[in-house]
Amino acid sequence: MGQQQLLLLVLGAIIVTIAIAVAINIFISRSGAIAEQYLNDTINDCLRIGQQAQAWARKPAILGGGEWSFVGFNLSYINFPESTNYAKYQIQVKKQRQHDCNRKNDHRTNC
């Protein structure tokens, strides 16, 4: 009877070891997928912020836009949160250089 119990104990230890190895492998593979999803979500958020910031800058000031400037732009102007579950966003606007309205083919209306 002692030999049979020892065999069952060894067999149980092998099964538990295999189960732990499989669980670790599944966890690692899924955590990589989660990290990739967070990266994709962050990229999509950045693209969305850029698109909406450009739309805000092109909008006339009387309609709540930037009048062809990003100066003073803030994420609250486009109703975007400063932080999400996976990233924190911050906008820094550098001083824009003066636009040269005397260039050829310049069709902007505010020159």
CA distance 96 to 65: 16
Q: Say whether pLDDT at 32 is over 70.
A: yes
Round to whole Å and give the CA distance between 71 and 73. Answer: 6
| More confident: 42 or 35 | 42
User: How confident is the model over 33-37, as a mean pLDDT?
Assistant: 82
What pLDDT is attached to residue 100? Answer: 54
DSSP for 12-75 reads: HHHHHHHHHHHHHHHHHHHHHHHHHHHHHHHHHHHHHHHHHHHHHHHS-GGGTS-SS--TT--G
Biggest CA–CA distance in the chain, Å, is 100
Average pLDDT, the chain: 82
Report the pLDDT averaged over residues 53-69. 89
Could you tell me the pTM of the whole model? 0.60
Give dist(CA 33, CA 27) in Å, integer: 10
Q: Are 53 and 47 in contact (CB under 8 A)?
A: no
CB 87 within 8 A of CB 45: yes
pLDDT at position 6 is 82
DSSP state of 103: S
